[in-house]
Structure 1
Amino acid sequence: MASMHGPDDEHDRNFATTLARGLSVLRAFRAGDDGLTNAQIAERTGLPKSTVSRLTFTLGRLGYLTRPQRNERYRPGPTLLALGHVAASSLSFLDVAQPIMQALADEIGTLVLFAVRDRDKVALVRTWRPRHAASIWLEVGHRLPVGGSSSGLAILAATTGAEFAALLQDRPPEVADGTALADLRREGHRQLMANGYAVVRRELRHTSNVSAVSVPFRSSRLAGPVAFSCGALDDVLPEARIHDHVGRRLRETVQQLQGLIGQNGSPAWTGTLDDEGGLA
């Protein structure tokens, strides 16, 4: 796994490298893990195993990690879980979204997911699986490239100039075909203006046989745009079906959510580009 901070960070006297490394240990855990050993954490973070051992020992003493006796695997501890509940209060709109996003998943027969920007990638925070249809399954915590996923494209296209500059500081991976992120941002914004949803080009997809469509969303509790998406294998969600039905239904469901939480204003991407098509 790549470093969780930019290459210039460690030269900034305000940057606490040990803290950053400790947080990278916590970020290594995924929803489907049955605990992680120090060796597995080292592999996921790219940190030396000796460094990981010191960090997990300290995090364990502080309650952020826990390790049952005679067990080498660490798991999230009570202190980390308590912090998670505090953080979840910023995503309280997901409680409102739960029934309507589940209904959308059941209606169209695809996975519906909610993603946020996580430094140089986008991370899945919530998923809804159709009750009566087989679908792909991506676990919470799964990370996708900004320039190789529809979720990333929607978030990218809805960023303001300042948000885009901050994203670039996290040095996201290059787009597969060499397209500049600024150009991809414009491409996504054009899609949002024309259709109200974004679809990443097939040649840019992180997973070649999975198609998806995404709509950005803003909450006053969050610092930047996030995204709701529908995704499935190509035979379930071909591009024609996205443009004929699924993209529109996702856009309408996100608009419905805005109404339910008393947020009937402009779409998330309004005002992110200046009047001449340049970056705001």
Structure 2
Amino acid sequence: MTDRKFANTLARGLSVLRAFRVSDNGLTRTELVVRTGLAPATITRLTHTLLELGYLSQYGNMLRLGPATFALSSVAGASSSFLDIAEAPLQSLADRTKTLLVLSVPDATSMTVVRTWRPKDVASVWLEPGNRIPIADSSTGLAYLAALNNARFEKLESREDWRDLRGEGRGQLARQGYTFVQGSARYTQSMNAVAHPFHASTLGEPVVFTCGATPEMLSDKRIAEEVGPALREFVRDLELQTGAPRTYEETQRRIP
């Protein structure tokens, strides 16, 4: 990062907090080294500081998210009122399409899953909050890049590699109203997915809703004829209910 205003220590500390997943019953410092890619000495310093501030708690040699993180998450949840409106329709969409519905937010070169809605009585692909989806080669990442305004896109570290992807995503949204990375171009062959960005009026940049399932359950044909259009209409309805921006031009006026 060449930005002189960028606080690397803060970024590393936040990467420690982002390393935790819902299924974790605590992490050791060694596991944090593996997940963050940071040096052991750096992890030692950062975890000591986060423990002192209450963002981590320690049980034996295991570290867990501390009470201070709950305060932050409760404030963030309260400010994301669109989820209150969308909760029941999202579960209904998951049940109707028999897909796992995922809400993802940007996190460096990946999208981090923050909420999931599993279809009832249907075996679905396994993702949970805290899992990461790469921006490159995923329908989710394509939707995110397509939704960024010019100023925000220029701040991305990998923007030169992603210019063509951004153009492809915008083209797909204009033509069909959703993004879809097909076949061998997908980052994983075990999941087929279709995505659409959403600009919540209370957030500073787009988030992404994604419907996913195994290719056997979610064929390209189902995406084109059923699931893609259903996701597109869901997001449009949510935009109307929340007053969220609906065009790139409107997004650029609202987001600095």
TM-score above 0.5: yes
Relative distance call for 1:225 and 1:15 in structure 2 (3 A) is: closer
Gaps (5+ residues) in structure 1? Answer: 1-5, 175-179, 274-280
More helix by share: 2
Residue 137 of structure 1 aligns with which residue? 126
1:84 equivalent in alignment to 2:73: yes
Deviation, structure 1 residue 262: 4.1
Relative distance call for 1:191 and 1:17 in structure 2 (3 A) is: closer
Gaps (5+ residues) in structure 2? Answer: none
Residue 38 of structure 1 aligns with which residue? 29
Counterpart CA distance in 1 for 2:82 and 2:225 is 28
1:171 equivalent in alignment to 2:158: yes
Deviation, structure 1 residue 48: 1.8
Deviation, structure 1 residue 64: 0.7
1:113 equivalent in alignment to 2:94: no
Residue 278 of structure 1 aligns with which residue? none
Residue 183 of structure 1 aligns with which residue? 164
Relative distance call for 1:272 and 1:99 in structure 2 (3 A) is: closer
Shifted more, 95-104 versus 40-49: the winner is: 40-49
Relative distance call for 1:97 and 1:60 in structure 2 (3 A) is: same
Is the Cα contact below 8 Å between 1:115 and 1:123 reproduced in 2?
yes
SS in 2 for 1:97: helix
What does 1:1-280 correspond to in 2, within 5 Å? 6=1, 8-9=2-3, 12=4, 14-68=5-59, 71-167=60-156, 170-171=157-158, 180-263=161-244, 266-267=246-247, 269=248
Question: TM-score by structure 2 length?
Answer: 0.91
Residue 276 of structure 1 aligns with which residue? none
Is the Cα contact below 8 Å between 2:239 and 2:246 reproduced in 1?
no
Counterpart CA distance in 2 for 1:44 and 1:73 is 15
Counterpart CA distance in 2 for 1:233 and 1:270 is 35
Is the Cα contact below 8 Å between 1:161 and 1:272 reproduced in 2?
no
Counterpart CA distance in 2 for 1:143 and 1:256 is 27
> Identical aligned pairs, as a percentage?
46
| Moved segments of 4+, more than 6 Å | none
Counterpart CA distance in 2 for 1:90 and 1:200 is 32
How many pairs align? Answer: 252
Counterpart CA distance in 1 for 2:150 and 2:251 is 7
Is the Cα contact below 8 Å between 1:147 and 1:204 reproduced in 2?
no
Is the Cα contact below 8 Å between 1:197 and 1:213 reproduced in 2?
yes
Relative distance call for 1:101 and 1:270 in structure 2 (3 A) is: farther
